[in-house]
Amino acid sequence: MPILEVTYTMKTAHDEMKGVSPLLASIFLVLIAVTAVPIFSGWFMNNLMSTADTSGNRTEQAIKCNVAGLAIEDFYLDFSASRARLNVRNSGQTPDQIVSAKVYSFNGSEAANLTIFPINISAGEFKYVTFNTEGALASCSNFSYAIVSGRCKTATFEGLPRGC
């Protein structure tokens, strides 16, 4: 009896798959590039312009700060009225803003500020900042220092206040 030999060949999906033609692949790559480049270039340009604007603003602020200045001309204490007053002058060549001011005693207590900030102050102009010293400064010997801050500069007063 003859022996019958049966061979099975299995075809897989991979055997029947054809590759993408090089022409079609090139067309797809060009389409992807044409679509992606405008998206990323727009994003890149927005970031670049934003960074340039920020840098320009910082440069402008730095130049203004180079010619800015604040000085505390006098510091007055009036114990009968429980008030203190800073006489602040813009000693710079550009307008500025006083953004905060504080008066401290040696024990660390702080006088309550009675002035609303920010205060615009032109070049060469004087402004007053007022404090309530009740409970914070009992005597001249208890005064430590006063500080005033602008957008760019800070000034301190550590001498003997007037009214002492």
In a 13 Å sphere around the CA of 20, the CA atoms on its Cβ side amount to 8
Full-model pTM:
0.61
Alpha helix locations (H) across 17-117? Answer: 22-66
Helices (H) and strands (E) in the chain, counts: 2, 8
Amino acid identity, position 21: S
Instruction: Give the Cα separation of 89 and 69 in Å (integer).
Output: 8
Q: Tell me if the domain spanning 70-157 has CATH number 2.60.40.10.
A: yes
Backbone angles phi, psi at 95, to 5 degrees: -60, 150
> What pLDDT, in 10s, does the model give residues 1-52?
556 665 656 555 555 556 667 887 888 888 887 787 777 777 777 776 776 6
> What pLDDT, in 10s, does the model give residues 91-144?
988 899 999 999 999 988 999 999 999 999 999 999 999 999 998 988 888 999
Backbone angles phi, psi at 146, to 5 degrees: -125, 145
Q: What residue spans define the domains of the chain?
A: 19-66, 70-157
> What pLDDT, in 10s, does the model give residues 71-88?
999 999 998 999 999 999
How high is the pLDDT of residue 144? 93
Percentage of residues in the chain having pLDDT higher than 90: 43
